[in-house]
Amino acid sequence: MHVVDLFCGAGGFSEGILQAGFHIVFSSDRSAHVKETYENRHRQLGLVQGDNTHFELADIRDLTGEIIFSRINNLNFFRENHLTEIDAIFGGPPCQGFSIAGRRDRDDPRNTLFREYLRIISEVNPKYVVIENVEGLMSMELNDGFESVSGVVYPDRTRVAEVLESELTHFGYHIEQPRILNASHYGVPQRRTRAIFIASRHDVVPARYPEPTTPELDERVTVFEALGDLGTNMEPSAYAESLRNGRTPHFITRTPVANLNRILNNEKSSHSSVISERFSLFREGESAKNLETRIALNGLNLIDYPNLLNECLFVANKESNRETLRVLLENIAPEFLGENEVDQKRFNKLYRVLWKLYLSEEENFTKLANKTAKEFGISAEDLNVILEDCVNSWNTHMTREQMLDFFLNNQAVTSNPLLMEALLTKKNTRSRLDSQGVAPTMLTLPDDFIHPFEDRILTVREMARIQSFDDSFEFIGKRTTGGDRRRDEVPQYTQVGNAVPPLLAFAIATEIRRALEETNALTGSGTEQNQLI
């Protein structure tokens, strides 16, 4: 049973497809970062590039049905008996350029990927089609003048779901009513919802949507069951044991690949004292919004959080402290007071470094002071004068005692949003996981979630456990990245966060296999190669 896996990413859907017993003969993604992880995993499973599978590093706009069949039939596995038909195509084309809640970008290049995926379907003509996407796909609307593969120009604000049904029907497919599937209903310890479209060619038994395997609350896998054994001497839960032993079979032996020794991708992040204290504010299962409400009602004794206290002082006194510093520098180092962008950046950097010196412990002070003097070209004597004046004149807009009283008496939330921002940052999506509940949707940025018991973010492996990846699945490349690099790089955390949970994919792929087997039984079809896997 031979399938194509498009927009495959690091391989979340791929895992479920393989667990359902399919042979992935062709896969594609445009990211070299995910290619490394995807191919590494498939080699581990006996799927070897050029032998029995092909990964194409390409933009889907550069793919055609002819290219896909050519790559497949050049594999050693098919050279003597060419493959002429694909059983199923799986994929989730990005659609973010279409409108969501009234926001849309007509020029977003991702708008064309949806159309290109339909084009590939029309050219390959598989028996079954699976399209997965974010839940918002159901309400996304086309931009004006969208021309389909069939040549129809759809009017402005036509829903993407309607176009999918119309186009696939035109290609000769029966479309099941699209559904929103919740991963937690299929054994995944995560409330991740995905829009799923299943289409069956007119000459095959229609595929159905999978029935939930864990529909009731008390049946669902908890965060504790997913993570409790990692880094501890605790016995793994049945869920964790299944991931240790592996669910995804080797292509040749059909035996799942286990990982019972070293846990992969489980390096913990080092956090500054400020971040650790900030994380410690959160109770189990508490979101940033709920934490803010609790502080507004009960107050907060910042004396127990000295580094956060200093962070709030830094924000509250920023403008007055900076003005004081400017006055100090007029006679000692006027070169920092220029108005061009370079000078302003240099001044801002000096201010941040002086704040660190202002707060530094005695044993760290000399080393940091010498480094600062050298970096900024200030003599040690002048630096001492500046620091002495800062100590005597900074933090007068709001003193330490006033700050403590401000938070203790419940005034921070209502009176000064900037202080709450200093305390919790702008990230209002952050929360601490509830060990006895199901996790929220894992995202691509690791600092959205705090470990249920430790004041840190999750490791890549912990996120992968919550996504239902086997422990033997290794993520390759950088752990994370930032800034403009996010547009091009796909680090480990992003690979995990973008993935379809393998257990959800398995449930969907199993239904496709069931329908395919019924079709083969009715028609007497099924090649020798189909029967090999």
The span from the CA of 316 to the CA of 23, in Å, is: 60
Q: Reduced to 3 states, what is the DSSP secondary structure of residue 27?
A: strand
What's the DSSP call for residue 459?
P
Nearest 5°: phi and psi at 247? -110, -30
The structure tokens listed for 74 are: 């050049």
Proportion of the chain in helix, strand, coil states, percent, rounded to 5: 50, 10, 40
The span from the CA of 436 to the CA of 452, in Å, is: 9
Q: How many CB atoms lie within 10 A of CB 271?
A: 15
The structure tokens listed for 466 are: 């919550």
Q: Specify whether 312 is catalytic.
A: no
For 39, the enclosing helix (H) or strand (E) is helix 32-44
Instruction: Check if the beta carbon of residue 373 is closer than 8 Å to that of residue 379.
Output: yes
The structure tokens listed for 119 are: 């084009």
Nearest 5°: phi and psi at 293? -65, -40
- Strands 153-154, 146-147: pairing kind: antiparallel
The 3-state secondary structure of 241-301, one letter per residue: HHHHHCCCECCCCCCECCCCCCCCCCCCCCCCHHHHHHHHCCCCCCEHHHHHHHHHHHCCC
Radius of gyration of the chain (CA): 28
Instruction: Check if the beta carbon of residue 300 is closer than 8 Å to that of residue 412.
Output: yes
Out of 8, 95, 312, 390, pick the active-site residue: 95
The structure tokens listed for 194 are: 């995905």
The structure tokens listed for 298 are: 């009960």
What's the DSSP call for residue 206?
P
Task: Give the active site residues.
Answer: 95
